Structure 1
Amino acid sequence: MKQRKIVITGYGTVAKEFVELLYRKKEAFIEQYHTEYTVIGVVGSIGMIYDPEGLDLSILHGLPTGSIGISQYASMKDLVLESPSMKGDILVECTPTNLETGEPALSYIKQALEANMDIVSVSKGALVHSLPELLAIAKAKGRYIKYSGATAAALPTLDIGEFSLAGSTIQSIKGILNGTSNFILTSMSEGNLTFEKALQLAQENGIAEKNPDLDIKGLDSACKILLLANGLFHTNLTLEDIVVDGIEKVTKADMQRAKINGCEWKLIASAKKQRDRLVLQVKPEIIPPENPLIHVKGTNKGILFETEEMGTICCVGGASHPKGAAAAAMKDIINLIR
């Protein structure tokens, strides 16, 4: 039986759900994948806890988020570089997204790669900031970076492009990649609500943050299409290369006019080949009835690949919940072992 030691950076809701998943399915993973996964360290905002023999998940999964205190190790660097004999095999990166600098995730990932660890990242910041650089480091080290959880969580966007469409020519990608904005647009359409009322409903239901700008202004969708584009088209684009418009200007009247023709408004993130370049865009679009993305309702997401050889491939669904993101991280780890 294989043994894989995991270090987790960041202990927010996704990391907590990930630990719960490991705890609940430990025996099933051993039986199905012949691998025992052990969490040996968790790096929190003010310190970390560590046990080379494995932390007790029955205790760890019960800890409140943000409760990881200081131990004898002050930082991730102290653990994986100063004590290489005690390092893990896989880093699961779950720190809050920082789009300006990518930190602290960027340093954690670089330190883990330097220590010959594979990476599974749910956080987007470091990848948006430096994905091509990190992939180059990983290649030089013979390690892997998996990040399906950062490209629409439970919806298998990256997996379809990397595995199901392997060998095919992807001509374009169009996706509804943000569950919050889609919930708002669905509420406007089905409930005949204004944008302001639909946003309030999303906040009352815990779907939208108190400050929802990242979702409603399209930046979260831009990050996800950027990661998909750089990963699948092997480009080196940045957020500055994307034209981004959010959903704030979509009105109740716009919704009603679209519905007359059986259409719906959706926030679409797209990457399309145009001659010798790749054009990335995020904007609200009117989706006609024949487009399968019209059926993406509520907090669900969807993605549409246009390929030269396989035609149109569409996937819809994917829970917009920390549990879905945690499951995506677990899937990436299992695929690493495979």
Structure 2
Amino acid sequence: MRECRVAIAGFGGVGRAVAEMLLSRRERYRQFYRTEVSLVAACGSRSGISDRAGLGWESLNSFETGASGPDFILASGADVLIEAGPSDFRTGGPGLAYIASALSAGMDAIVISKGALVHSGRHLRDLARASGARLKISGATAAALPTIDLLDYALRGCSILRIEGILNATTNHLLHAMSSGGMGFAEALAEAQDAGFAESDPRNDIEGWDTACKLLLLANFGLDADLTMEDVSVEGIQSISEARIAAWRAEGLVPKLVGRIWYEGGTARASVGVQALDQADPLAHVTDNNKAIRITTDFMGDVVAMGGGSGPTATAAAALKDLEHILADRLLAAERKD
């Protein structure tokens, strides 16, 4: 039985969901990957806990002040870091230091927050390549909706001509409420916040920045582009008036916040903005707080995926899917060596 020791940096709702799900799946990991997976460390911004023998769920309520930071994770003896902290694409923090430290030490990293990947994606990929560590990002690229997986696995061998996606659940919920429920923007936002669909500070969502971040990850990690936020034209939904909504409705059109990647002269381009879609477009039928992606290829045609949860549990499941890929890779490598 092989061993895999996991550390979690960032212990909010998503980090807790990762820990709970990981501990509940330990028998699965033994059965399918012949690996004893243990959680050896978890930390937030100021406190944490570690035990090389493995942590149980009860011990995760006993964090020690000061037990935090990249050195704390390295000292835990973890083989895999799951980074689930807050996200700031303008600075990369606080996840950047954790991820860079782990990759430099040869520790595989599963990243959920987008900020560090957007801010320093090329640098992190270089660190992973140099140390041989794996860098997985399913949780950062629309959570449970398969996006980067389609590029990495399902569409291998094809040339990607275009990507279009509804990648933010909050804005899709708001536009759906406005266009089908007859609400104004302020009313729809207040309702979404009361229901827990929207953050108390929803600017990254409604101004299009969250969608732009996910586009950059798909372009740079999935298509090996080298785009920055300055390369993306970004418009959100905050200025969409009731009059525009009514005019689109009268024409039978459905407004969606769509992120796009396409090529001009061999160079990747990207944009985020509201598009009024015809009812014949599959993306027009992505309702409420669902997401979708359409990838146009040279030989496989259009591939469309829709749905996928957006809450902490769905995001945690996406991250642990990455863990299973790592466990499968390790098992295969060990069998080849044997």
Q: TM-score, normalised by structure 2?
A: 0.93
Q: In the alignment, does 2:159 pair up with 1:164? A: no
* Aligned residue among 263, 267, 276 for 2:253: 263
Cα pair 1:304 1:314 within 8 Å, conserved = yes
Shift of 1:75: 3.2
Alpha-carbon spacing, 1:249–1:74, altered in 2? closer, same or farther (3 Å)? closer
Q: In the alignment, does 2:171 pair up with 1:187? A: no
Cα pair 1:151 1:224 within 8 Å, conserved = yes
Shift of 1:68: 3.3
Distance in structure 2 (CA, Å) of the matches to 1:286 and 1:49: 50
State percent identity of aligned pairs: 38
Aligned to 2:22: 22
Alpha-carbon spacing, 1:257–1:88, altered in 2? closer, same or farther (3 Å)? same
Distance in structure 1 (CA, Å) of the matches to 2:73 and 2:45: 15
* Aligned residue among 121, 124, 139 for 1:134: 124
Residue pairs, 1:60-71, within 5 angstroms: 60=60, 63=61, 68-70=63-65
Code of the residue aligned with 1:162 in structure 2: it is D
Aligned to 1:76: 70
Q: In the alignment, does 2:234 pair up with 1:244? A: yes
Post-superposition Cα deviations, 1:20-64, rounded to whole Å, max 9, x if no partner, equal 11222322332233322211011221132110111113442xx3x
Cα pair 1:29 1:36 within 8 Å, conserved = yes
Residue pairs, 1:182-221, within 5 angstroms: 182-221=172-211
Aligned to 2:93: 103
Count of aligned pairs between the two proteins = 328
Post-superposition Cα deviations, 1:94-146, rounded to whole Å, max 9, x if no partner, equal 11002222122111111111221001000111101011111011011111100
Q: In the alignment, does 2:329 pair up with 1:335? A: no
Alpha-carbon spacing, 1:257–1:140, altered in 2? closer, same or farther (3 Å)? same
SS at match of 2:240: coil
Distance in structure 1 (CA, Å) of the matches to 2:115 and 2:248: 35
Distance in structure 2 (CA, Å) of the matches to 1:208 and 1:74: 29
Structure 2 spans left out of the alignment, 5+ residues? 329-338
Shift of 1:320: 1.3
Aligned to 2:336: none
Cα pair 1:46 1:70 within 8 Å, conserved = yes
Aligned to 2:6: 6
Distance in structure 1 (CA, Å) of the matches to 2:68 and 2:164: 43
Cα pair 1:11 1:68 within 8 Å, conserved = no
SS at match of 2:25: helix
Shift of 1:78: 4.3
Shift of 1:250: 1.6
Code of the residue aligned with 1:11 in structure 2: it is F
* Aligned residue among 201, 210, 213 for 1:223: 213
* Aligned residue among 142, 145, 148 for 1:152: 142
Shift of 1:276: 2.6
Alpha-carbon spacing, 1:279–1:115, altered in 2? closer, same or farther (3 Å)? same
Deviates more, 1:181-190 or 1:232-241: 232-241
Shift of 1:256: 2.7
Residue pairs, 1:252-291, within 5 angstroms: 252-291=242-281
Cα pair 1:43 1:76 within 8 Å, conserved = no
Alpha-carbon spacing, 1:79–1:245, altered in 2? closer, same or farther (3 Å)? closer
Code of the residue aligned with 1:3 in structure 2: it is E
Cα pair 1:48 1:75 within 8 Å, conserved = no
SS at match of 2:279: coil
SS at match of 2:178: helix
Structure 1 spans left out of the alignment, 5+ residues? none
Distance in structure 2 (CA, Å) of the matches to 1:74 and 1:27: 29
Q: TM-score, normalised by structure 1?
A: 0.93
Distance in structure 2 (CA, Å) of the matches to 1:169 and 1:4: 36
Alpha-carbon spacing, 1:78–1:21, altered in 2? closer, same or farther (3 Å)? closer
Aligned to 1:322: 312
Distance in structure 2 (CA, Å) of the matches to 1:52 and 1:162: 33
